[in-house]
Amino acid sequence: MIKLGISAFYHDSAAAIVIDGEVIAAIEEEKFTNIKHDNSFPLQAIEWCLKSAKISIDKVDMICWYEEPKLKYDRVEATLGKSWLKNFKKWTTFKKEFSNGEGNLKDYFKTQIGYTGPITYVKHHLSHLALSFYTSPFEEAIGMSIDGVGEWDTVVVADCDKTGIKEKHSIKFPNSLGLVYSSITAYLGFKPNGGEYKVMGLAPYGNPTKYSHIFNKISKVNENGTIDIKQKYFTWKTSNTDMYNFDLVELIGFEPRLSESNIEQEHMDLAAALQQWYESQLYFLIRNECKGTDKRNLVLGGGCAYNGTANGKIKANTEIQNVWIPYAPSDAGSAIGACLYYWHDILAHQKVEGGNNISPYLGPSYTDYDIQLAIRENLDDIVVRKLSDSEILRETAQMINNGSIVGWFQGRTEFGARALGNRSILANPHISDIRDKINKVVKKREMFRPFAPSVTVEDYQTYFISESEVPYMNQVVKVSDFKKIPSVTHVDKSARIHTVRREQNEKYYDLLKEFEKVSGTPILLNTSFNLRGHTVTNDPKKAIWTFLNSEMDYLIIENYLISK
């Protein structure tokens, strides 16, 4: 059975092809359009997925949509539409956009992609949970999806086992941990639904106690396992852009930061208080679920599952023994999750023992001809050598050890927000000032932002305090000996690690081992291959453009070594 999974119209639009339960291809629309968190209908992503799977749209048996449009409409009608006269323009705009798109998908699909077959609608959080559970190594688990909002639910808890995913209970809109986090993200001058990771990076510079009282006033936990958010301070019911009001400004005590203004200590302290509050709410929810079950495995999904700082402390603060977070827990991953839910929970195919579909390398790869074409277009600006596999690994490791910053472009593009060794910028973790150099003249972004270390799976416990592998860079852990790897150690002596198995990514693993020969450690500084404001590089032309428009020293595309 061939299924096309689609997520769109909110943020991180994506498409996926799943055949008989196996993910064949998946990519976000932004990687074609270069619009970060692109929410448009993923026409280019769909076209590429069909081409990659070597099928036409008429061969697709089912489209799996990542949420229930009717439930979403009901929620907006009950909030925005309830005061339709006051919110006349917003309400009429929503109704028009909804009826022209998500509210009439049968006609929309026919017009946009020529599809006239059946459509199944999977609830938002079930799409998240399906990706999390059906890629996990667990036979049974507590499932928890935490998001800004999906239809009516902001948090969904489920029992996950061989019989499928069964919802237990939920927290309803407007009580949302994710929307609180996004609101404070906006208050601190970053874009909501995209800038939350910056707040996580800023938080360790602050003192959480100074503004902790704010969050005590904003939220209340209940004995039944729910959380209430006081709506006095927020405008989620009537706006997707202006997320807070003047009451919140008065409560915090300083004005919202403008996006390009200086970051002051008060901003760091507020970020620290927000992160501490989110962690306390997350652990409360998890501990509450552990009371009623002997399950000690947790699968986590939803946009909040990208909070690596909180994720890395789950086992220390709850009874959970094992945690699984997939490579794309936010809305993009739901394009896959909706298909997996249909395969397992509707068609009743049992979960593959030990997990399946665990590879994040689901996007395009490029032929030697594609690469040579991109090179020929830039011959006035670059010098190129083609090397053997052993030569490219040896020379790259030596260049990085000598202090060079290298763009690394290999194989298929990663699906999700993390660079996992195929579209990466790499550097020496031992050189203390290289982090500032990359932030300033390569990535061209805020100087407080940390970088992640990639490390071979056999060696991660030598350098990092972590009981389990972290293959998708979604947990922050403490560094054992931070003096050895200063450029990947954050101000609080932590790192968002990426453990690498050879069977997961052979060439990248071999590069780590080659770097160990010249440096003594199998660790590389790894950050996504893009400049500030740009999406992660997907194709060779964009790779060369990014290289030429930054102060990277070398670019490796497959076995081509490129210098300026």
**CATH number for the domain that contains residue 300:** 3.30.420.40
Rounded CA-CA distance 227/51 in Å is 45
Q: Is residue 503 part of a domain?
A: yes
Task: Give the sign of the dihedral formed by CA 309, CA 314, CA 317, CA 321.
Answer: negative
- Take residue 386 and report the two structure tokens written for it: 């083609």
Instruction: Quickly tell me which residue has 């200086």 as its tokens.
Output: 262
Cα–Cα distance for residue pair 433/367, rounded to 1 Å: 36
The answer to whether residues 173 and 212 belong to one domain is yes
Two tokens, residue 13: 């639009």
Cβ contact 203:272 at 8 Å: yes
Do 30 and 118 lie in a common domain?
A: yes
Judgement on whether residues 232 and 315 belong to the same structural domain of the protein: yes
Q: With beta carbons less than 8 A apart as the criterion, state whether 407 and 555 touch.
A: yes
Mean pLDDT along residues 476-486: 89
The two three-digit tokens of residue 467, written as one number: 């009981």
Residues 6 or more apart whose Cβ sits within 8 Å of residue 141? 133, 160, 161, 295, 297, 298, 299, 324
Shared domain for 293 and 180, answered yes or no, is: yes
Chain-centre distance of CA 281, in angstroms?
Answer: 21
pLDDT tens digits along 24-33: 999 999 999 9
Domain boundary among 124, 152, 167: 124
Number of domains composing the chain? 3
Q: pLDDT at position 335, please?
A: 98
In single-letter form, the type of residue at position 416 comes to G
Does the pLDDT value for residue 190 go beyond 70? yes
For the record, the structure tokens of 95 come out as 């109704």
**Residues near 88 by beta carbon (within 8 Å), at least 6 away in sequence:** none
Question: Is 360 within a domain?
Answer: no
- Measured between alpha carbons, how far is 270 from 280 in angstroms, rounded to an integer? 15
* Mean pLDDT of the residues in the chain: 95
> Above pLDDT 90, what percent of the chain?
89
Residue 81 has pLDDT above 80, yes or no: no
Report residue 234 as tokens: 């927020």
- Domain shared by 406 and 532, yes or no: yes
Q: What is the C-alpha separation between 141 and 276, in angstroms, rounded?
A: 26
Q: What tokens were used for 489?
A: 């150690």
Asked which of 293, 325, 357 is the last residue of a domain, the reply is 325
Whether 77 has a pLDDT exceeding 80, the answer reads: yes
Residue pair 479/359 in contact by the 8 Å Cβ criterion: no
Tell me what the mean pLDDT of segment 335-340 comes to. Answer: 98
Assess if residue 318 is contained within a domain. yes
Q: What is the phi/psi pair of residue 206, to 5°?
A: -110, 170
CA distance 82 to 78: 5
Residues 257-289 pLDDT 10s: 998 899 999 999 999 999 999 999 999 999 999
> The domain spanning residue 501 has which CATH number?
3.90.870.20
CB 518 within 8 A of CB 398: yes
Distance CA 58, CA 362 (A): 22
Q: Is residue 248 part of a domain?
A: yes
362: in domain: no
Angle at 53 (CA atoms; ends 305, 536), nearest 5 degrees: 45
Same domain for 119 and 154: no
Q: How far apart are CA 469 and CA 211, in angstroms?
A: 34
d(CA 481, CA 429): 12
Considering the domain architecture, whether residues 403 and 484 belong to the same structural domain is answered as yes
**Do 434 and 489 share a domain, yes or no?**
yes
Predicted pLDDT of residue 15: 98
Q: What is the per-residue pLDDT for 444? A: 86
Whether 275 and 374 share a structural domain: no
Question: Does residue 229 share a domain with residue 159?
Answer: yes
Domain boundary pick from 79, 99, 124: 124
Q: For residue 240, what pLDDT is reported?
A: 64
pLDDT in tens, 343-390: 999 999 999 877 789 999 999 999 999 999 999 999 999 999 999 999
Residues 169-173, mean pLDDT to the nearest whole number: 95
Looking at the structure, tell me whether residues 165 and 289 fall in a common domain: yes
Each residue of 124-156: pLDDT tens digit? 999 999 999 999 999 999 999 999 999 999 999
What is the per-residue pLDDT across 193-252, written as a single tens digit (0 to 9) for each? 889 999 999 999 999 999 999 999 999 999 888 999 999 999 988 776 679 999 999 999
Domain extent for 21: 2-124
Averaged pLDDT for residues 37-55: 97
Asked whether residue 353 is assigned to any structural domain, the reply reads no
Is the torsion defined by CA of 300, 302, 305, 310 positive or negative? negative
3-state SS record for 356-409: CCCCCECCCCCCHHHHHHHHHCCCCCCEEEECCHHHHHHHHHHHHHCCCCEEEE
Measured in degrees and rounded to the nearest 5, phi and psi for residue 35 equal: -105, 110
Q: What's the confidence (pLDDT) of residue 503?
A: 95
Question: What is the percent of the chain with per-residue pLDDT over 70, rounded to a whole number?
Answer: 100
β 164-172/153-161 pair status: antiparallel
Q: Report d(CA 21, CA 204) in Å as an integer.
A: 41
Question: In terms of domains, do 163 and 261 share one?
Answer: yes
Within a domain: residue 359? no
Asked whether residue 446 is assigned to any structural domain, the reply reads yes
3-state helix, strand and coil shares in percent for the chain, rounded to the nearest 5: 40, 20, 40
Summarize pLDDT for 321-333 with one digit per residue, the tens: 999 999 999 999 9
